[in-house]
A and B are shown apart, each in its own frame.
Chain A
Amino acid sequence: AQKVTQAQTEISVVEKEDVTLDCVYETRDTTYYLFWYKQPPSGELVFLIRRNSFDEQNEISGRYSWNFQKSTSSFNFTITASQVVDSAVYFCALSEAGTGRRALTFGSGTRLQVQP
């Protein structure tokens, strides 16, 4: 069975600090997809990134960067120079593609509070 663990329940930082959100996953499939979503106070989940299991290249998008390491089954997310607008709940999710399943298994989320 697949599982996603986000051990950090809540993180509080001061604006301009860097912050890393951890995500550890478990799956038996060799083909799978990892996602990060942001859920601001408005409630709507916003897609941030998708990464497939064969692509271990790290990715950077503006202040956001992702570190995918298959050896440790981790897909961590770093926000550089955090801003108040980054305050939200962040979810890591896993989809096993090998069996044709599309269901996302979510972690419990990490609430990020960025203080001005």
Chain B
Amino acid sequence: KAGVTQTPRYLIKTRGQQVTLSCSPISGHRSVSWYQQTPGQGLQFLFEYFSETQRNKGNFPGRFSGRQFSNSRSEMNVSTLELGDSALYLCVSSLEQGARADTQYFGPGTRLTVL
């Protein structure tokens, strides 16, 4: 079974630009979450999507947005990039059957550098 895939793996942008990151979850998984990892703040939850609906959102400004498609693939967008947005962005896939919290599988991440 293929794991979580994220594209692109590396990205360099300049301040003020916008960026879109893509994630394909494990086949059959319906929930996709996104996390930001930085040396200063560690791993922080961005948002979670389930069946094309945003189910949960972390404490990030509105410049960070996302969506999920009918095939469970997800994209996240960051507009008006700031230097502090430089980070590893991790996509997480989980099966989500019933109420129990299933194991969450992380993708390899997209490393975004903002110059």
Report which A residues bind B (CB closer than 8 A): 33, 35, 37, 42-47, 50, 52, 91, 93, 95, 97, 100-109
Contact = CB atoms under 8 A, between A and B. Distances in A.
Contacts of A37: 106
A101 B103 contact: no
B56 A101 contact: yes
Nearest to B111: A43
Interface stretch (B17-25, B41-49, B69-77): B41-49
Contacts of A46: 106
B66 interface: no
B66 to A, nearest CB: 14
29 contacts: A33-B101, A43-B88, A43-B111, A44-B107, A45-B106, A47-B104, A47-B105, A50-B101, A50-B103, A52-B100, A52-B101, A93-B43, A95-B101, A97-B99, A100-B55, A101-B56, A102-B33, A102-B56, A102-B101, A102-B104, A103-B45, A103-B56, A104-B33, A104-B35, A104-B92, A104-B104, A106-B42, A106-B43, A109-B42
A103 B101 contact: no
Contacts of B108: 42-44
Nearest to A32: B101
Interface residues of B, number: 27
Interface string B52-63: 000110100000
Contacts of A91: 43
B68 interface: no
A105 B101 CA distance: 13
B92 to A, nearest CB: 8
Given A37-B106, A97-B100, A106-B44, 15 more contacts: A44-B109, A46-B106, A47-B103, A47-B105, A100-B55, A101-B56, A102-B31, A102-B33, A102-B55, A102-B94, A103-B56, A104-B33, A104-B45, A104-B92, A107-B42
Interface string B7-50: 00000000000000000000000010101000000111100100
